[in-house]
Amino acid sequence: MTVVLTAARQNFHHALTESHTLTLSPEGVASNADGSQKTSIAIGLGIATDLAAQTVATKLQGQKAGKQFEGAVESFLKETFPSFQSLRPGSWIIENVGGSRSEYQISKYEPYTHLASLASAIEKDPALASVLGNSYEISPDILVLRKPEKDTVINGDQPLVDSAFGRHSVIRESNQDRPIVHAIVSCKWTLRSDRAQNARSEALNIIRNRKGRTPHIAVVTAEPSPSRLASLALGTGDIDTVYHFALPELSEAVGKTDNDEAISMLETLISGKRLRDISDLPLDLTV
């Protein structure tokens, strides 16, 4: 019998190929590969072939491919993470807010509700924007949210809380009823130009602007080039981990290139715990 995580990963890849997000050109260039780089083409072809991508005359525009990638990641998380109640109990919401592209979408939830007041202040006094710059901007793709718990649930096994103390914790519905941001997942179909640095900048804003525990900060990408993956994954302090949409397939494809630099870089990213497969993401979110 196929387990939930394996089935969800298969469904995830099937969604990407059926929606023509991941395709091959008649010349054998994958839709996530850089057509000007020999190594990127070779790796992309290997992954796309393993995942049974279709050959099409014209690939999707980058924005549409990115949006469909977000949707596939959202569906994968909905299919997996809430099922791990044995590791991380709770009432969970997986929400794709990428379409709104509003830095204040996150202000609906703890611990970022104060950003709504900041937005209002900036609208009244535009000079504040010149002072703050973009240090308050957070435009997430996917949010993993936990609903606060009723006291009856908290006290389910034994009396733990009453009306006297614990009056400020956001996990108690009696204190506040807004969902709590457990994780922020950024989706990057590829890592061209400055997209890696954009992900880092947003991660730092997530850390700096919170009023509470830092959420998990993850990036999921389909980028085939190890050097471009390294531009985002290497180092620590902002992003928790980068997750590849098909890491075993990537490893196999990179190994077949005979490119020692690419092989060494990918090994460094994996052994250094900076790059994991998307199937690791729901498990990591339980920590």
Predicted pLDDT at 125? 74
Q: pLDDT by residue (tens digit) across 169-212?
A: 999 999 999 999 999 999 999 998 666 778 888 898 899 989 99
C-alpha 272 chain-centroid distance: 19
Q: Which residues pair with 185 in a beta bridge?
A: 142, 218
Rounded to a whole number, what is the largest CA-CA distance in the chain?
70
Per the prediction, the chain carries an average pLDDT of: 92
Predicted pLDDT at 213? 94
Predicted pLDDT at 138? 79
Asked if residue 116 lies in contact with residue 152, where contact means CB atoms within 8 angstroms, the answer is: no
pLDDT classification of 262: cutoffs 50, 70, 90: very high
Peptide bond into 111 cis (omega under 30): yes
Q: pLDDT by residue (tens digit) across 133-164?
A: 555 567 889 999 999 999 999 999 999 999 99
Asked if residue 276 lies in contact with residue 243, where contact means CB atoms within 8 angstroms, the answer is: yes
Rounded distance between C-alpha atoms, residue 39 and residue 44, angstroms: 8
Q: Which residues pair with 145 in a beta bridge?
A: 93, 181
